Amino acid sequence: MSFTDRLRRERVIAIVRGSDPKAAERTVHTLREEGVGLIEVSLTTPDAADVIARCVREAGGALIGAGTVLTADEARAVQQAGAAFVVTPALAEGSVTAHALGLPVVAGALTPTEVVRAVAEGATAVKLFPASVGGPAYLRSLREPLPHVPFVPTGGVDAETARAYLEAGALAVGVGSPIAGDAPHGGDLDALRTRCRAFLAAVAGHREGA
């Protein structure tokens, strides 16, 4: 299954951005246990490459990716850690290098010019970020001239807006604190499970084969 097909199946990339490496790792495992198949560990998390490497070893059927990859060195480091995909907040050297290394890239872009450039530089999908600036209506406007671009809106996406983005034509959505909450900082894992189940239920009608 291609990464694009996996995005189409899962519809959600859960973003883990924490202050505690062990808590971030526990968050990844909990998300995986609850059925989230695409999980991004942000490099703003302390020791993120090590967290990714440990999570990859116990990933089961989930794909563990790296987020906030900005530089070529970071792209090489997360490849060595075993990341299955790379996510960037903007067009940067990290996305170009990750693509050259053969990793699927969800490259951050906001304007039409940035979107076109992201695709030209080999992005598998475009992370529309911060999506909250324009909301689902902005996504619809972008898709009119760019109907074949696979968009992954990220930034301020909760369960309700996730449905709206998917209905507006998004391939998937990226979701951070609305699903992870305080768990990556050492917070309640039971509350994480509850949020995760509610979120997956909200997008269930858009998931393929899950």
Which residues carry out catalysis? 40, 127
DSSP state of 150: -
**Length of the chain (residues):** 210
Q: Are 44 and 66 in contact (CB under 8 A)?
A: no
Question: How far does CA 205 lie from the centroid of its chain?
Answer: 20
**Contact by Cβ (8 Å): 174, 40:** yes
What's 205's DSSP letter? Answer: G
In this structure, what are the phi and psi dihedrals at residue 58, rounded to the nearest 5 degrees?
Answer: -120, 30
C-alpha neighbours within 13 Å on the C-beta side of residue 206: 24
CA dist 9 and 24 (Å) reads 25
Q: State how far the alpha carbon of 43 is from the alpha carbons of 64, 89, 141, 145, in Å.
A: 13, 11, 31, 33
Longest dimension (CA), the chain: 44
Q: Which residue has the tokens 């020791």?
A: 47
